[in-house]
Amino acid sequence: MKFKKLNLVLILLITILVFFALYLGMKKQNLYTTDHIVNKKMPNLISTELFTGEETNLSELVAKEKFTILNIWASWCAPCRSEHKHLITLSSNNNSKIVGLNYKDKIENAKSFISELGNPYDHILLDKKGFISIDIGAYGVPETYVIDNTNNKIIKKYLGPIDEFILEEIINILNS
Amino acid sequence: MKKIFTLITFSFLLLILINNSVLADNKISKVDSISKNLRCLICQGQSVYDSQSEFAISVKDLIKKKIEEGNSDNDIYEYLKNKYGDWIMYEPELDKKTLLLWILPLILFVFGGLLIFKKAFINYNKNV
């Protein structure tokens, strides 16, 4: 009788534990988010400039401005075309510099993309093998980072193309 | 004499060739084993090893480069976890958040074992 009671309590406890574990699992969001990147230091990027072919250091390029917008793009990426007009809008903001990171692209294609759609970038760096993108925690195109140059921290990261809402949010950050 | 010299040269070259091919195989299998434990972030449901996306190809190339630079498996996992968070790992590590996940099967196993043992013990006593 004593054993039966003990069994019952144990079964009840384990059932509660299983349900608790399942409940926690259900609550956990099973999607990749960029939260862990926010407030992280931006690694120093050294790469070749698209037009000049010179080895360039990102931190030297943007030292004077309050913010940097780093946009990862490629000529073969369709959403990059759709966000391009918003980058052109952002390029008129005086508080920031826009740096493009051209991702695994052919140089001639990248150049013709820019000559066709206009150049919103102050500088364009090349990421031929995709290693620079990995170093900054990116995994595709397009992705956009807003970096605070005063402390070199990433304050916002956007996955996918910039739309009207994101544009407004970025402008608010730049004017803050 | 000439024959011996040719033989030695040939053996030496063969040894280098075999050695290089074994090293290359080891490197490839190491890249494979690491990339199998990494989640492809743009093609969910696939590992970096299985995926042919640009991201997965870059990660595999980077793993190969890091191995060549002398990094251990753990160094590579830590580097990628630092860049993408724990989400990139297929096998979650034992920490506060995953403790229940790791110990629950153990508890169930021990409890189930005890129940079976007890049942068998009672049956045995009855038969005796």
Is ipTM strictly over 0.95?
no
B41 versus B91: the higher-pLDDT residue is: B41
Q: Alpha-carbon distance A86 to A97, whole Å?
A: 14
- Name the residue of chain B whose CA is nearest to A134's CA: B83
Nearest by CB to residue B85, choosing from A17, A21, A36, is A36
Q: Is the pLDDT of residue B18 over 70?
A: no
3-state SS record for chain B: CHHHHHHHHHHHHHHHHHHHHHHHHHHHHHHHHHHHCEECCCCCCCECCCCCCHHHHHHHHHHHHHHHCCCCHHHHHHHHHHHHCHHHECCCCCCCCCHHHHHHHHHHHHHHHHHHHHHHHHHHHHHC
- Nearest CB to B54; choose among A3, A104, A131: A104
Res. A65 pLDDT band, cuts 50 70 90:
confident
Q: Which residue of A has its CA nearest to B101?
A: A21
User: How confident is residue B74, by pLDDT bands cut at 50, 70 and 90?
Assistant: very high
Contact residues for A75 (Cβ-Cβ < 8 A; gap 6+): A102, A105, A106, A109, A110, A112, A113
Size of interface A-B (CB pairs under 8 A): 57
Q: Which residue has the higher pLDDT, B120 or B127?
A: B120
- Does the pLDDT at position B48 exceed 90? yes
pLDDT digits (tens, 9 = 90+) for A147-161: 999 999 999 999 999
pLDDT at A84: 96
pLDDT band for position A63 (cuts 50, 70, 90):
confident
pLDDT for position B22: 58
Residue A77: per-residue pLDDT = 95
Please tell me if residue A116 touches chain B, with a CB cutoff of 8 Å.
Answer: no
The pLDDT-based confidence of B1 (bands split at 50, 70, 90) is: low
Q: Which residue of B has its CA nearest to A34?
A: B84
Question: Tens digits of per-residue pLDDT, A107-125?
Answer: 999 999 999 999 999 999 9
Residue A127 has pLDDT above 80, yes or no: yes
Q: Which residues of chain A have a CB within 8 Å of the CB of B71?
A: none
Query: Is the Cβ pair B111, A14 closer than 8 Å?
Result: yes
| Residue-level pLDDT at A147 | 94
% pLDDT > 90, chain B = 35
pLDDT at site A35: 76
Share of chain B above pLDDT 70, in %: 81
Kindly tell me the sign of the dihedral angle through the C-alpha atoms of A164, A166, A170, A175: positive
* Confidence label for B63 from pLDDT (cuts 50, 70 and 90): very high
| Contact call for residues B53 and B42 (beta carbons, < 8 A) | yes
* Average pLDDT rounded to a whole number, residues B55-82: 94
Which comes out higher in pLDDT, residue B100 or B119? B119
Tokens at A143, concatenated: 């992705």
Residue pLDDT, tens place only, A34-48:
777 888 899 988 999
User: What is residue B27's predicted lDDT score, i.e. its pLDDT?
Assistant: 66
